């Protein structure tokens, strides 16, 4: 991937003096022969993820939602049918306990409904209410506009390339962990 000026992404980050570039320089001083290439990628991915989480997703916050709560609502909306908490956990990469807590809070707000399974009382089914569907449908365009703004400093071709590269990495990691792909 190249930056607008033709430099490689790693080179432009180092030239700009991002936080990871500083860490890499420090490690290269201590261990000059060490290959810090993986750190330059994974460190930047982790740092970007942490900063994006700190940004708190302004449109979601205005709607009174956290990102994990929106993930539950969005999962129910995009799949188009009710799901069990276990299915929601798989879709959102969350623990069962975390999903149970989120479903309880969303249910108290009238955004989802829980229905017991007729055959197995231990199983619950969760579906969006009309209010939940309307909230997702109203917040999603705002959230996507917000995310577009966050990425505005990265050109369209570079975004496409970055998305492809991250997709390849994700497939490799999911395969190594034996995670099913949907």
Percent of the chain with pLDDT over 90: 66
pLDDT at 2 over 60: no
pLDDT band at 129 (very low <50, low <70, confident <90, very high): very high
Average pLDDT of the chain, as a whole number: 87
- Identify whether the C-beta of residue 2 lies closer than 8 Å to the C-beta of residue 158: yes
**Residue holding tokens 């995009």?**
78
pLDDT at 156: 93
- For 84-121, the pLDDT digits (tens) are 999 999 999 899 999 999 999 999 999 999 998 888 88
Taking residue 10's Cβ as centre, other Cβ atoms within 10 Å add up to 16
This model's pTM is above 0.85: no
CA 98 to CA 104: how far, in whole Å?
Answer: 10
- Identify whether the C-beta of residue 103 lies closer than 8 Å to the C-beta of residue 84: no
- For 20-55, the pLDDT digits (tens) are 999 999 999 999 999 999 999 999 999 998 888 777
CA 39 to CA 90: how far, in whole Å?
Answer: 28
Task: Answer positive or negative: Cα dihedral of 159, 151, 49, 45.
Answer: positive
- Identify whether the C-beta of residue 111 lies closer than 8 Å to the C-beta of residue 129: yes
């Amino acid at each position: 991937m190249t930056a607008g000026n033709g430099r490689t992404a790693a080179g432009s980050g180092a030239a700009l003096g991002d936080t990871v570039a500083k860490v890499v320089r420090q490690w290269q001083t201590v261990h000059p022969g060490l290959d810090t290439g993986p750190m330059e990628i994974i460190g930047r991915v982790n740092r970007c993820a942490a900063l994006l989480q700190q940004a708190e997703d302004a449109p979601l916050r205005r709607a009174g939602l956290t990102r994990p709560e929106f993930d539950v609502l969005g999962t129910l909306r995009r799949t188009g049918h009710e799901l069990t908490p276990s299915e929601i956990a798989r879709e959102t990469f969350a623990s069962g306990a975390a999903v149970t807590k989120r479903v309880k809070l969303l249910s108290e707000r009238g955004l989802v409904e829980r229905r017991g399974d007729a055959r197995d009382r231990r199983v619950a089914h969760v579906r969006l209410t009309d209010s939940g569907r309307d909230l997702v449908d109203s917040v999603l365009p705002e959230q996507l506009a917000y995310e577009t703004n966050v990425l505005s400093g990265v050109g369209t071709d570079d975004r496409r390339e970055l998305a492809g590269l991250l997709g390849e990495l994700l497939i490799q990691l999911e395969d190594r962990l034996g995670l099913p792909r949907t």
